């Protein structure tokens, strides 16, 4: 699992979690992906949330209710 940023978006990349449920708390707001599916033609999934550029954002990612990763990122 990788958490990154580009063009004012937080991007969460996952691999190996297809068919499971991902919930993520990004900048205090929840998003849900159920089930996780691969990006078209890729071997990974991609979930994005627009947050704007220049912000320090806290991200928590859960798979099937279990906390998998916590990270703080500065958006660009």
pLDDT of residue 37: 97
Q: pLDDT per residue over 36-61, tens digit each?
A: 999 999 999 999 999 999 999 999 99
Q: pLDDT per residue over 27-38, tens digit each?
A: 999 999 999 999
Domains of the chain: 2-74 (2.60.40)
Q: Which residues contact 52 (CB under 8 A, 6 or more apart)?
A: 8, 75
pTM, rounded to two decimals = 0.94
């Amino acid at each position: 699992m990788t958490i990154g940023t580009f063009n004012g978006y937080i991007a969460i990349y996952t691999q190996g979690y297809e068919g499971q449920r991902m919930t993520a708390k990004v900048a205090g707001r929840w998003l849900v992906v159920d089930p996780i599916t691969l990006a078209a033609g890729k071997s990974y999934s991609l979930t994005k949330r627009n947050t704007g550029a220049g912000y320090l954002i806290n991200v928590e990612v859960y798979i099937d209710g279990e906390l998998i990763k916590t990270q703080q990122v500065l958006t660009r």
